[in-house]
Amino acid sequence: MTSGEPAGPEHRASKGHAALAYDRIRQAIVEGAYGPGDRLVEQRISEEFSLSRTPVREALRRLESEGLVVFRRNRGAAVRYLSADDVRDLYELRARLESYAAELASVRGTIRSYDAMDEAAEQFERQVGRSGDVVIAQDDRVRALSDTNNRFHQTIVAAAGHERLSQMLASAVDVPLVFQALRGFERSELQRSAEFHRMTAHAIRRGEGARAGRLMSEHILLGRDRLMEDLERGEGARAGNASE
């Protein structure tokens, strides 16, 4: 096929299968179905999702480029494992970068970008208000919160108008960690996150860049603190089991 020819149906189907494999594997990693350190065996995954191994292999390579998967010599692919120090470093880097994004958004943003930011903040707050609804399945609730939370933060990064900063944040934000934090949050902690969204958005719209940056940094570091508590609790429990 020459470069000017349209892609045929087989080529489009192959790309579609790779995208499907990527979406499913990524969701499984983000939501914890594949945990840190778990091996990602192509044959097993292809059978699980009724796909051939080629799109699964392509998906794993794409996830490797995003930092969610690592390839080890003679062992194949595995979900990336993060130590407590890794988590701390990622969140502290993200806090600095996204704080700067909030500052830039306060002077570079447009009315349209601010409206999108406010809409995402308001939707997150509404979802938090419904978070006690027993009709909503746990994973569906967390997935909705995670999607809206991500949209809120992305509207601020987009409003900052800084392409290199956006690329750096794409590497610094670990989506599985954010999902894990939201899953573990109590209602009061979700309400606190919603309040930080509202206050940060208000400061950005008013052009108060320094205040918006401080609020964003504190918001992210509170998420770090909760994750660190969970990690320490898990390590303590494992140590206790080992001593029995």
Q: Are residues 197 and 227 in the same domain?
A: yes
pTM: 0.78
Higher pLDDT, 81 or 113: 113
Q: Say if residues 180 and 32 touch (Cβ distance below 8 Å).
A: yes
Residue 46 in domain? yes
Query: 23 is in which domain, residue-wise?
Result: 9-79
**pLDDT reported for residue 238:** 46
**pLDDT reported for residue 13:** 53
pLDDT single digits (tens) 136-166: 447 788 999 999 999 999 999 999 999 999 9
Region of 60 on the Ramachandran plot (φ > 0 left; ψ -120 to 50 alpha; else beta) = alpha
Q: Are residues 47 and 90 in the same domain?
A: no
**pLDDT reported for residue 14:** 58
Q: Are residues 42 and 113 in the same domain?
A: no
Nearest to 156, CA basis, from 114, 95, 198, 96: 114
Instruction: Give the CATH number of the domain where residue 237 resides.
Output: 1.20.120.530
Please tell me the total count of domains within the chain.
Answer: 2
Q: Say if residues 5 and 20 touch (Cβ distance below 8 Å).
A: no
Q: Are residues 205 and 126 in the same domain?
A: yes
Cα gap 113→72, rounded to integer Å = 42
Q: Are residues 135 and 180 in the same domain?
A: yes
**pLDDT reported for residue 134:** 42
Cα gap 187→81, rounded to integer Å = 28
End position of a domain, from candidates 64, 79, 94: 79
pLDDT single digits (tens) 112-131: 999 999 999 999 999 998 75
End position of a domain, from candidates 28, 52, 79: 79
**pLDDT reported for residue 89:** 92
Q: Are residues 148 and 181 in the same domain?
A: yes
Instruction: Give the CATH number of the domain where residue 36 resides.
Output: 1.10.10.10
